[in-house]
Amino acid sequence: MTRDSLKVDKRPADSDPAAGAHSAQEAFASYAAPLVDHAIEYANAVREDASPEALHKLRVSLRRLRSLWWAFEPLLEKGENTRQRALYKFLATAAGKTRDWDILIELLIHDDNGARSGTSEIAPKLQDARGAALSTSRETLSNADVKHLLREALSSASKELNTAHERMPLRKFARQRVAASERSLNKRMKRARRAKRSNYIAFHNVRKAGKKLRYLLEFFEPVLSSGHKRTLNRLKQIQKRFGTLNDVVASEMLLRDNAALLAGSGDTDAALHWLGKERKRRMRSAAGLLRKL
């Protein structure tokens, strides 16, 4: 299952788009503009490209935008920042509805080969459901006018920051926001270690916090001091272990929610049984990793 890369751009600081900025306010647009361009590009691509990769790239680009707006939250008007982050979440969810079917199909048909879950017979119905979800995703993204919304969000935030009277040194700001994100991750890891094995939400919160921290390190790495190698290695482990758990949990929920749609096309009970066993196995694996970190 292809996931967004964990690699942090190792360009020297003077080649970083924000290298010439002395303040966080000055640097914002150089971080945000490329992300907005990518999101618009991927949104346009989804109109023609029905592949899982096109949808995945769009969803990742929107998640990065949401994390960047979170990073600059202390410098932006709270209400507007909350609205913009909600917008990115809405658009990512629109793309994600189709992506969820791709993951379910990959788990049941490809990873399992239909052998244990007995799902080879429902493959056509799964593909039909995926096609319907893709149509809905495309319609939602088209009606939302992604290009206009993202350009407007970038313009509004940039204007607010550029007219601010106070200035925060970029390096200091980056350290503070990465540190805040690290504290959030550590707090959620502590809760998950204490949680019952059936408490998936606690594990899911660790995954989200880890992803946010990774994005911030990718944004700010050129202006941060060294010493994040251990953190990045830990984040890589979390993403891989907790990501595979999330795939199974989301797929199990999707199959249960659409059981009526797939009725009569195959043994959905067998598929749910297999996914349930996989969920428990991957929960144990995720819990084991938490104990080691």
Predicted local distance difference test score (pLDDT) of residue 229: 79
pLDDT tens track for 84-136: 999 999 999 988 888 899 999 989 876 555 555 556 678 888 889 999 999 99
Q: Which of 8-12, 125-129, 223-227, 264-268 has the lowest mean pLDDT?
A: 8-12
**Cα 275 vs. chain centroid, distance in angstroms?**
22
**Structural fold of domain 23-292:** CHAD domain (1.40.20)
Give the C-alpha separation, 49 to 149, whole Å.
Answer: 22
3-class DSSP assignment, residue 102: helix
Cross-strand bridge partners of residue 169: 23
Query: Would you say 13 and 222 are in contact if contact means Cβ atoms under 8 Å apart?
Result: yes
3-class DSSP assignment, residue 114: coil
Neighbours of 254 (CB within 10 A): 18
Query: Would you say 232 and 217 are in contact if contact means Cβ atoms under 8 Å apart?
Result: yes
**Residue-range domain boundaries for the chain:** 23-292
Calculate Rg over the CA atoms of the chain. 21
Percent helix, strand and coil across the chain, each rounded to 5?
Answer: 80, 0, 20
Confidence of residue 228 (pLDDT cuts 50, 70, 90): confident
- Sorted by sequence, the CB contacts under 8 Å of residue 254 that are 6+ apart come out as 100, 101, 104
pLDDT tens track for 14-25: 446 666 568 999
Neighbours of 3 (CB within 10 A): 12
Q: What is the DSSP letter of 7?
A: P
Full-model pTM: 0.86
pLDDT tens track for 25-51: 999 999 999 999 999 999 999 888 878
pLDDT tens track for 176-192: 999 999 999 999 999 99
Whether the per-residue pLDDT at 152 is higher than 90: the answer is yes
- Sorted by sequence, the CB contacts under 8 Å of residue 73 that are 6+ apart come out as 81
DSSP 150-194: HHHHHHHHHHHHHT-SS--BHHHHHHHHHHHHHHHHHHHHHHHHH
Predicted local distance difference test score (pLDDT) of residue 118: 56
